[in-house]
Chains A and B, each alone.
Chain A
Amino acid sequence: MTKTYRMALLTGTLLAGPALAESTLTIESWRNDDLAIWQETLIPAFEAAHPDIKVVFAPSAPAEYNAALNSKLAAGSAGDLITCRPFDASLELYNQGHLTDLSGLAAMANFSPVAKSAWQTDDGSATFCVPMASVIHGFIYNADAFAELGIEVPKTRDEFFAALDKIKADGTYIPMAMGTNDQWEAATMAYNNIGPNYWKGEEGRLALIKGEQKLTDEGWVAPFRELAKWKDYLGDGFEAQTYPDSQNLFTLGRAAIYPAGSWEISGFNTQAQFKMGAFPPPVAAEGDTCYISDHTDIGIGMNAKSPNPEAAKTFLEWVGSPEFATLYANALPGFFSLNSTPVEMADPLAKEFVSWRQKCQSTIRSTYQILSRGTPNLENETWNASANVIRGSETPEDAAKRLQEGLASWYEPQK
């Protein structure tokens, strides 16, 4: 009796072996907001075409992602596929041998050099992540509130501040929903949102990298001056207002304008009960060239120590395909595909954001490429400086001077 039972168990184990032989890929990501989209849309689409590969999406919290990923990679317990932050964070992982060179992937031909630049070595010889999406900065507004107060969508800075004044005078809505508690919104959704119009996008950004411009130049201080004026239009107690607080204030209809990144679109669509619109950062005078931050934000690469390199490459080829681009861009309106094949999107707000690519010059966030390699870290310092300027605890000039001193302390071309 016992013997038969044991035999049965043993046979069971042996039979289970081949069934487990199919490879399982684990994706590391900071996009925990996208869990449902991966599980319900993207992974089933892939698994339908590749029944022998199972994919698990295992995200961690955005603020902890980099630290957690670095520790996991060092310990050898990271997943097969690594969602890549743009520029130096991923470049460092590649240099340390944690990411595989993917230049040989056929799907790489589907991406423009600009799209790939965020995940390449400085000389462009190796590309280590497949570009997935970029995000565009601008302002999302409550269209119902604008109609109610008779406000036109502002095109110039004067119109923008006139609109804010009008909303403030009316008092029904908080003019602008942003806080300084978490600091990063001040840098990402404020400084790098309105800044490109002042430093002329790529022109200023590249000049800064070459050392031809300084952070104390007018083009880089002026956005701080504009931020200092924002203070009066933010809600009561904005100093302690967190990012989720701002999101909720806007989607509950208590604030009229939200300095945004396009990644907010899908969340806002489900939360907000009113009509929304979007406008790009206003320019100085009507007809001026406009510049937008169209930031290469997210890519995906392969863990060099992955036990399933073939399966992982199959998956990455699929991520680089137009099929994935269409699925992803429509499942996540606001994450704009970097694929050269044009993607048809259905969401009106996402369409509005992406339409700015036609009329404005695109650039990426100023601090991301090369300039945040040293200590002090320019990106983190910019968070701090932007938040200080908005709170009014540091003047725009002092903030710019401090950033320049920090950058010049380690970055050769700025010395």
Chain B
Amino acid sequence: MTIVQRAGRVDAADRANGSDAASKPQRKRGTGARAGVVRGIADRRLAEVLPVLDDLGAAELRRRVAAAPEPRPFALRLAEPGLHLIAEIKRRSPSAGRIAADADDVLARARAYEAGGAAAISVLCEPQWFGGSIEDLASVRAAVTSPVLAKEFVVDPRQLDLLRGTGADAVLLLAVLHRGRALTRLVDRALDLGLEPLVEAHDERELETALATNARVIGINNRDLRTLDVDPERAGRLRAGIPEDRVAVAESGVRDAGTIRGWRALGFDAALVGETLVRAGDPGATARAFVAAGRLPDDPVEASRAPFVKICGITDEAGVEAAVRAGADAIGLNLVPGTPRALSMDEAVALAAHARRIASPSKAPAIVPITVDRSADDLNAIAAALDADAIQLSGDERPTLLTKLDRPAWKVIHLPPASEASSSTSSVNGSAPSGDGRVAAEAIKRAQAFVDAGAARILLDTSGGKHPGGTGRRAEPHAVAAVARELAVTLAGGLDPSSVGHALRASAAVGVDVASGVEAPRAKGDRPRKDALKVALFAKRAREARIDRPNLPARPTPVNAGLIDADGRGWWGAERSFGGRYVPETLMGALVELEDAYTALRHDPRYWSELRELLATFVGRPTPIYRADRLAALILDRARAAATGPGGTGSAVPGSLRLYLKREDLAHTGAHKINNALGQALLTRRLGKTRVIAETGAGQHGVATATACALLGLPCVVYMGAEDIERQQPNVLRMHALGAEVRAVTSGSATLKDAINEAMRDWVTNVRTTHYVLGSAMGPHPYPTIVRDLQRRIGDEAAVQILGAEGRLPDLALACVGGGSNAIGLLQRFVGEPGVRLAVAEAAGDGITTGRHAAALAGGSPGILHGTRSMMLQDRDGQVVEAVSASAGLDYPGVGPQLSGLYEAGRLELAASTDEDAFEAMAFTAETEGILPALETAHAIAALPRLLAGIEGRGSAYPADVLVLLGFSGRGDKDLASFGKWRERGGSASGDDANAVHEA
């Protein structure tokens, strides 16, 4: 009753304002003409509804509101993970005229939308222009179980009562029609009625007005309602202007599912789609396609990067329900006497039981009591009473306490709170001022002591509050980032739905914890309670913070930063001594342009989301990992033979080998090269360039680039050494078939390096129209970063896959290396994992000692090649020495700057395989596993026995049950001609090894 009375008051107030809600504001802004179409509709609507509302009278409206069905949650539904479809029903529109037949069955359409997965149905109520009616609203509401949005031109506050009374769950309010105060009153009145207002804006000014209200759901309409013009990029531009603690809806201008996917990537929670759906032949199928496009990517790599979310300080069953519905990973129950959220033991036990009752067993949150400075006996008793999954220690406990606890311990480490001035200066790659460095170093030391004592989780909170356990304030971002870089930490303190995404993007933290940031406003003295929408949005913003941002760190990388990423000028390595940009001045403009474009794209979720879709549907990612047991047994035998044979060290060879192949040979076009080519082809489009050039050695990069260009309709010229054309004929034919022009390069050694020279010359000449799709993680800055970023998926996927299969990361990750794109793509994920050894197999050609090889790391020195300073083969005059290898893909005299830096720092172990070794490995791999590796890949396989025997690499022993991940970079069809010649020369898989082993 009170609600209705209050609504009545607002009603009266608005009416006392005369036609505030109608024409006056527009005229006052001097926008009478600009108000255009929407004003005309609104004026007419006012004339229509006034007599209706007057006829009904306040009492009847109150009766209808009271009799209306309970509102269905609208905002909360849109706050679930991903982007949701609000499907609209209208018979016609002022922009498009009649779009649905009169006979169109509105209810069938609504049911089709719902069956297609729409989260809500929007129903036009305006009769004149849209052919809608309040009756449509009522019948649709009755026909579906989803919430229904009343798409109405609200010009009189009493319409809100009428709409709620008709069953509407949400209502559209147009910022263009109302001045700030009037809009605020309409929003508050709708909220009081339980009618969720969606406040729609079209430009910055309207958005400001919308955000000044209490509306929880904000829409951006790409269509200007004054002119009906659609600007499809507008929603994207304005998204950042909507704080993350509001539900954001994009409206109008949907071309296809790609538009929806882009909006999802940009962080919209919903898309309101009208015309495109209404015009679709099969509305259910179209809705289903749009719903699918709005879903979060089903990508195990993204899942592995999602942060852990803990909702702390829950005080009642509704709070438990909100946390469970939001998919929280943990629920914190506060047992610290005297603090606002403190529970009695009985309350805590009841809430823990409630959580376990309502959660599905597979997704049940961990139950964690929060304690301060309790004795071990107390803690064990608490844990037993709650059947706690872990115990949080938020006081001044000592590491020795952990040995006495029965359950896993989560330890809170405190940092001093940020001063107001410094809290706004965080950045992803910002360097920490020295004061923060000290603070961070101390926190790391304290945390490490608890990790060493067995703490299962470290939470990073701010110190100095009134109560022990947390202050609700943020710590200095630089210090937080520095700690999160070294240790797996969960951020706590001062987070809320609007800040959690940024906090996760600014540090490598593995989790977030929130208490006060997701609570409803309360009167002094009341116990805090969770706000379900805030809890849902917090979890959503946290989970989605790093999706489609693969280059943001999501876990600690406790190694020198120069081994992980280039600095701002493109220099790599612990001493920043590799990389840079050594090119003719003519190319500098293009490289700066490329750098600027890529800097913008590197963390642009729309780019990575588009690329992921192509990688999934076109390339076939993720590629599988395959456990090659027969090959492993053969390799182990060879390792034993090598260890005890001539030149052997006699060191212990592991007793067992579990060998996983990361199957890039199964990617479209048969090698990892497509990952980079496709990414750079998309980049070409973003750069506005109209022509693509590439170089190729084995032909795989040429084929991949030709493929990507065919897909995107770009003309493509591939430079290829004449010698490589000879030995890689099948790939030349493939490039021709794909419509690319292959230009033979006869200068120099007529191999890969000369093809690069010629491509660079073409680029120097055509730089204004042409993008050079460089094929390896080398060349002038920013190429090493671009190619590495595009290839890192190999290792990102493999890590998740091997964790899934084995429950741990590999002891050794191994790849073949030429320029290094496949190697760094596999290894990048593991550089910051101290437990994983990294090795590369170089091409030893005729043997390192013959001088006829392609081993730029083992047999080279630092120099400048193809625009970058890196390890390379050269003579004392700095002339480039021609590489020698039967493998065209490894036949290159340099290796990229990041791998050079890893090698210099001792993080990379080296092996080298001769042509003969590689052909032999091709043979025995094919014979034992039924997989024909590329000759390049075979170098890595051939090297593994020597690495395991300690003859190559660091030499130190591996675990007895060694787990190895091998980058299976490509398939060997292209090498069959050379393989056949090797066979003719008498080559074989060393007698009967291949068959003998497997009888054992």
A binds B: no
Q: Which residues of A does B touch, CB under 8 Å?
A: none
